[in-house]
Amino acid sequence: MIDGWSQHQAEDVSCYFPSFQPSHWFQHFSLGGAHPLAFPIFICFRGDPSTPHHVWLFPGFAATFIRKSYDVRRVDITPLEQRKVTFDTHALVQDLEAHGFGKEQAQTIVSALITLSSVSLDTVYKDMVTQAQQEITLQQIMAHLDSIRKDMVILEKSEFANLRAENEKMKIELDQVKQHLMTETSKIRADSKLDINLERSRVTDMFTDQERKLMEATTEFHKKDANTNSIISEISNKIDTEIASLKTLMESNKLDTIRYLAASVFTCLAIALGFYRFWK
């Protein structure tokens, strides 16, 4: 049992939890005295705590560290000689020894904390750059922009000049095509107008000819109608004359018939009277 720490034993692993005031613990584990470690910490040993071979430092179950083999990819963005430990390691070792840890245990814990600090700084350095690196990158970007600006000027003097020449050439060709189209359009319009006038004249002549033929046909029809009317009048007169003659003949025949009938009647009466007298 270590003074100031609570022990939990599971098989061959011993875990120690700080039982003293957390503010006192955080004060000893502050980074340079400005940023205290605001997370719970407990330490586990595999084997005999007096001669530890493996040490785990668990800050709120967020990370696991092994003393001999750490599963962390080291990225040396800032050289190691420029990095400094942000807390007093000797004072921390003495404080751990004062709370019941052995010298080797205290050194192992401090070594784990140094490793944790280095890994945290590596993680921070992955997302950050130094002012010198920023200035170098800015100078490189400005140099690249100057190169692009020069390339654009050269391109404007060469490629843009060629493009302007091509545009002028295409404009001239378009003007020529436009002029040719206007000429062809004028020719087509003139030919169409001439064809329309010729067709109009032909239609007018055809209409005049048809009108003349219609007038001739109308005159011929009137002549034939007059002849037909005269013939009909003559035939009507002849029919009337014949009808009058027939009427006269019928009247004369009627009178003759009446005469013959009267004579026949009188003859029959005379014969009848004669026979009557003869038989009487």
Three-state SS sequence of 166-220: HHHHHHHHHHHHHHHHHHHHHHHHHHHHHHHHHHHHHHHHHHHHHHHHHHHHHHH
What's the pLDDT at 85? 67
> Domain for residue 93, yes or no?
yes
Q: The pTM is what?
A: 0.27
Q: Over the stretch 107-127, which tens digit does the pLDDT of each residue have? A: 898 888 888 888 887 787 777
pLDDT at 12 over 70: no
pLDDT at 223 over 80: yes
Q: Can you give the pLDDT at residue 216? A: 92
Distance CA(262)–CA(101), nearest Å, equals: 192
Q: What is the pLDDT of residue 83?
A: 59
Q: Give the pLDDT band (50/70/90) at residue 68.
A: very low
Sorting pLDDT into bands at 50, 70 and 90, what band is 84?
Answer: low
Please report whether residue 154 resides in a domain.
no
- Residue 270's pLDDT band, with cuts at 50, 70 and 90, is confident
Q: Number of C-alpha atoms within 13 angstroms, CB side, residue 179?
A: 6
Find the domain containing 101 and state its range.
Answer: 5-128
pLDDT score recorded for residue 175: 93
- Angstrom distance (rounded) from CA 190 to CA 223: 49
State whether residue 160 is helix, strand or coil: helix
Mean pLDDT of 57-78: 40
Per-residue pLDDT, averaged over 32-39, amounts to: 38
As a whole-number percent, the residues of the chain with pLDDT over 90 amount to: 26
pLDDT in tens, 47-64: 444 444 334 444 433 333
15 belongs to a structural domain: yes
In a domain, 221, yes or no: no
Contact 23, 38 (CB under 8 A): no
pLDDT band at 1 (very low <50, low <70, confident <90, very high): very low
Is the dihedral angle over the CA atoms 162, 163, 167, 170 positive or is it negative? positive
Q: Would you say residue 46 has pLDDT above 70?
A: no
How many domains is the chain partitioned into structurally?
1
- Give a yes or no: residue 83 inside a domain: yes
Q: What is the mean pLDDT of the chain?
A: 74
Which pLDDT score is estimated for 134? 83
| Structural domain includes residue 233 | no
**Is 55 within the bounds of a domain?**
yes
The amino acid at residue 151 is D
Q: What average pLDDT score do residues 5-30 get?
A: 43
* Residue 273 within a domain: no
pLDDT of 226 over the 50 cut: yes
The confidence band for 42, taking pLDDT boundaries of 50, 70 and 90, is: very low
Q: What is the pLDDT of residues 170-218, one digit of tens each?
A: 999 999 999 999 999 999 999 999 999 999 999 999 999 999 999 999 9
